[in-house]
Amino acid sequence: MNISVIGSGYVGTVSAACFAELGHHVVCIDIDPDKVDMINRGEPPIYEDGLEELLSNHAGRTLRATADYDDAVSGTDISFICVGTPSDDDGNIDLSIVKGACASLGAALAKKDRYHVVVVKSTVVPQTTEKVVVPIIEGVSGKKAGVDFGVAMNPEFLREGKAVYDFMHPDKIVVGAIDKRSDDAVSALYAGLDGETIHVDPSTAEMIKYVNNSFLATKISFSNEIGNICKKLGIDTYQVMDAVGRDSRISPYFLNSGAGFGGSCFPKDVKALIGKAREQGYEPVLLNSVIKVNEVQPLLMIDLLESRLGNLGDLTIAVLGLAFKNDTDDIRESRSIPVIQALLERGAVVTAYDPMAGDTMKQLFDDTIVHYCDNAAQALESAHGCLVMTEWDEFRSLNSEFATMKRPLVIDGRNVISCDGIEYVGLCW
Ligand code: NAD
């Protein structure tokens, strides 16, 4: 099938490359000309394991990119909307980017005679596809949903860092279509993949995505709260959760306590669901707590640091790990951000190292504010303390590097450091 993919970020680029790998012809659309050029050169605009290989295999053959909606939409049968859905200042979903993409898509559809299917892959709160996307496209194109064009909501469950693998090996494929014709078109694209396809209506598909993320976020905040209690009692929370996770009703995943969750999805999606619930007159007590625990958690590392070092003013603190998790350069909502902010507010000198995310973090804290280092050893040299914020594999083998610190004090927020001769403090263990 001929597919256009609107938005070339994590979801759009990975989906486009994987659809090409599945044998489809794909055109990426992005308003950022640099991303368009990169994709056409076969270079991924973001880092994802396996993505470079897929793009270099398919770019210039069955995959290309453009900034021109008319060009992309006229030659394809189905368009996936994969643009960002950030939080607004109140934490509610900001649909302005989705609305802009829908207006451009509607204008391109107005010039097209053939039937086309519009698929929302961006994470949007329940009712958005039918109450926001469809009216905009109908209004701009002058066409009728269910007659001239099909509509479906097809949420994406990929994990950053494992996005290509997850797309090709889904646990489930959710298709929330307004009618059978739209459903058939979307479902057919995934033929050949193993995951079971779940057929629902658009609002249910939208809700499934939020519940999926909110449940995982809840597991993490729950584990962090238990970890905080265990720490006070001198109990190893990892031993506790290892045993608890063997209960098949619970599963061993997302039970690691630590500095909390970040990334482009969990924090904003839980907040967006809270906002949607409030709009319906319901105050979601549990979801509010999930966010509250997550905001407190990284700052507990500062408390632990101060309990050992006292006033942090003019002390050098090494922050190891800037990405919100390992194997990505994404720093969105990374737990290292509030930690660096708190260190700077206390007058500490911050040295920082991340295998991939240093350059992205410079956009938030430039290199006159934070001293970015080329490796962990450099960041640790002469530091009075160290905070481990990301679960990078290379941190597991750190050992002699700590010996060059003024005081080898390590506050571990991810349970990755194990070596002798340091003053080790686990966040929840
Ligand atoms: P992103 O910000 O990385 O990428 C969005 C892209 O859209 C950017 O390249 C931007 O230039 C482009 N864009 C903006 N306006 C446009 C327009 N009018 N026309 C064409 N392109 C436009 O976003 P992302 O992380 O890929 O997330 C996209 C959506 O998928 C979000 O709703 C997100 O919640 C959801 N999601 C993300 C993940 C993830 O792990 N990142 C996983 C599942 C779902």
Confirm if 37 and 15 have CB atoms less than 8 A apart.
no
Fold of 299-426: Rossmann fold (3.40.50)
Q: What is the pLDDT of residue 192?
A: 86
Q: Specify the pairing of strand 172-177 against strand 149-153.
A: antiparallel
Q: Which residues of 262-292 are buried (b: 16+ CB within 10 A; e: fewer)?
A: bbbbbbbbbbbbbbbeeeeeeebeebeebbe
Ligand 1, from 5, 6, 11: best to mutate by most atoms within 8 Å of Cβ? 11
Quickly list H helices, 280-408. 285-309, 336-345, 358-362, 376-380, 393-396
Q: What is the homologous superfamily of the domain 210-296 according to CATH?
A: N-(1-d-carboxylethyl)-l-norvaline Dehydrogenase; domain 2 (1.10.1040.10)
The yes-or-no answer to whether 2-200 and 299-426 have a common fold is: yes
Q: Can you list the pairs that 366-370 forms with residues at least 24 positions away whose Cβ atoms lie under 8 Å?
A: 369/344, 370/319, 370/340, 370/344
Q: Which amino acid is at 290?
A: V
For residue range 105-144, list pLDDT tens digits in order.
999 999 999 999 999 999 999 999 999 999 999 999 999 9
Fold of 2-200: Rossmann fold (3.40.50)
For residue range 401-424, list pLDDT tens digits in order.
999 999 999 999 999 999 999 999
Joined together, the tokens standing for residue 40 give 């056409």
Supply the residue whose CA is at minimum distance from atom 11 of ligand 1.
Answer: 32
Q: What is the pLDDT of residue 153?
A: 98
DSSP secondary structure string for all residues of 136-151 = HHHHHH---BTTTEEE
- State the Cα–Cα distance between residues 425 and 412, nearest whole angstrom: 6
- State the Cα–Cα distance between residues 243 and 66, nearest whole angstrom: 52
Any atom of ligand 1 within 6 Å of the Cβ of 84: yes
Distances from the Cα of 188 to the Cα of 60, 61, 173, angstroms = 24, 22, 11
Any atom of ligand 1 within 6 Å of the Cβ of 160: yes
Any atom of ligand 1 within 6 Å of the Cβ of 10: yes
Structural domain boundaries in the chain: 2-200, 210-296, 299-426
For residue range 249-298, list pLDDT tens digits in order.
999 999 999 999 999 899 999 999 999 999 999 999 999 999 999 999 99
Backbone angles phi and psi of 66, in degrees to 5:
-155, 165
pTM: 0.94
Supply the residue whose CA is at minimum distance from atom 13 of ligand 1.
Answer: 7
197 forms beta bridges with: 173
For residue range 198-229, list pLDDT tens digits in order.
999 999 999 999 999 999 999 999 999 999 99
Backbone angles phi and psi of 346, in degrees to 5:
-90, 5
Any atom of ligand 1 within 6 Å of the Cβ of 32: yes
* Mean pLDDT, all residues of the chain: 97
Q: What is the pLDDT of residue 71?
A: 97
Q: Catalytic residue positions? A: 265
Any atom of ligand 1 within 6 Å of the Cβ of 82: yes
Residue 47 has pLDDT above 90, yes or no: no
Residue 331 has pLDDT above 90, yes or no: yes
Residue 160 has pLDDT above 90, yes or no: no
For residue range 336-379, list pLDDT tens digits in order.
999 999 999 999 999 999 999 999 999 999 999 999 999 999 99
Q: Quick one: pLDDT band at residue 327, thresholds 50, 70, 90?
A: confident
* C-alpha 30 to ligand 1 mean position (Å): 10
Residue 328 has pLDDT above 90, yes or no: no
Closest CA to 270 of 315, 333, 224: 333
* C-alpha 174 to ligand 1 mean position (Å): 19
Q: What is the pLDDT of residue 203?
A: 98
